[in-house]
Amino acid sequence: MKALRVAVGLAGVALMGVGVSLLTEVRALWDVLVWLGGAVVLHDAVIAPLVLLAGLLLVRGGLRGPVRGALLVAGALTAVALPMLLRPGRTANPSVLPLDYPRNWLIALVTVAAVAGFWVAVRGLVGRGRRPSDDG
């Protein structure tokens, strides 16, 4: 599991490097830094506390971790998609935001819920297969 985390982390850092290399203007770099700072504040001050509270109040036992994880990912997806979700109607240039962002955001949220449900199911099946002496 640790090797997977390191690999995913390295892939993320590499993709961030690609993104930074694509920034050619100082103004664009500043806008990105402001947006990223706002995203960190939104995540740490709003999303994470709400997820932890929801997990504490609504879920008990072994489901708490997967539910919190799914809620955290859903909150982060929503924070990233918020500018596209709140955009004003159609623009004069249809190529500016050409996709159906609300539909794609909902598909992403359903995927997160499905993966979390699958994770819970797999954990339940693996947990049933254990004998009491397997716990060590």
- Contact between 110 and 70 under an 8 Å Cβ cutoff? The reply is no
- Contact between 116 and 66 under an 8 Å Cβ cutoff? The reply is yes
120-135 confidence digits (pLDDT tens): 888 877 776 665 555 4
CB atoms within 10 A of CB 58: 12
- Contact between 76 and 43 under an 8 Å Cβ cutoff? The reply is yes
Task: Give the start-to-end residue ranges of the domains of the chain.
Answer: 27-88+98-127
Residue count of the chain, please give it.
Answer: 136
What pLDDT is recorded for position 32? 78
Give whole-number Cα distances, 15 to 3, 21, 31, 32, 123, in Å. 18, 10, 19, 15, 31
26-82 confidence digits (pLDDT tens): 677 788 788 888 888 888 888 888 877 887 887 777 788 888 889 889 988 988 888
